Amino acid sequence: MMAIEAQKVVKSFGDFAALKSITLNIPGGEFVAITGKSGSGKSTLFYSLSGLDTINSGHVRVLGKNIHAMPQEDLHDFRNTKMGFVFQFHYLVSELTGLENILLPAKKKNLHKEKREYALYLLDYFAIAHCKDKLPSQMSGGERQRVAVARSLIMNPEIIFADEPTGNLDSINSEIVMNIFREINLKNKTTVILITHDDEYAHLADREIRLKDGEIESDVHYKKR
């Protein structure tokens, strides 16, 4: 099954066309890096493919659902259960502990009690069990980002969207986070969509889609499954 099917997607901001009729397919279980210089349209594509922003024309199907035709409430629920998100900034809730932050998506579905053991497993798996009862202000940058990754996984999503997830991390923590994504992809067959400006991290993916001026400049497969 295709994880994502985009057909002639156009996104404009006023007179500026950020995406110019983008068409692409991403099979389930693929690890895709979306790259390009600043202003190339990669973050706009990220937001358009995930339904975090509207598009002007075209279609985006995620797991067979035409997301831009869905009512907002249904789309929000679909994102919460089928997609996980990691951003350059961790966006943890400052008043909540590491465990409580991880369980936030589950709490929206009243599943936080059922998911607690899995959250504890993720804390241990990512070597941040000591952050269980810590507030974000008491964690290092790398610990906060790993908590954010764990939060993105708590609902066992089929797709992870990661927008420059290592942008605020040092090289050691960047490597830890990237290895987590690679392992999640290989072990769980989770589709990973990674926005990055770092060529080294892009080459960890199965495929690199490079954008230039709102269009696909190249689409390279690095590995065969």
Per-run averaged pLDDT (10 residues), the chain, 225 residues: 94 94 96 93 94 95 95 92 89 95 93 94 93 96 92 94 87 87 92 91 92 95 67
pTM to 2 decimal places: 0.91
**Span 17-56, pLDDT tens digits:** 999 999 999 999 999 999 999 889 999 999 999 999 999 9
DSSP the chain: -EEEEEEEEEEEETTEEEEEEEEEEEETT-EEEEE-STTSSHHHHHHHHHTSS--SEEEEEETTEEGGGS-HHHHHHHHHHHEEEE-SS----TTS-HHHHHTHHHHHTT-HHHHHHHHHHHHHHTT-GGGTT--GGGS-HHHHHHHHHHHHHTT--SEEEEESTTTTS-HHHHHHHHHHHHHHHHHH--EEEEE-S-HHHHTTSSEEEEEETTEEEEEEE----
pLDDT at 143: 93
Task: Give CATH for domain 2-90+157-221.
Answer: 3.40.50.300
pLDDT at 124: 92
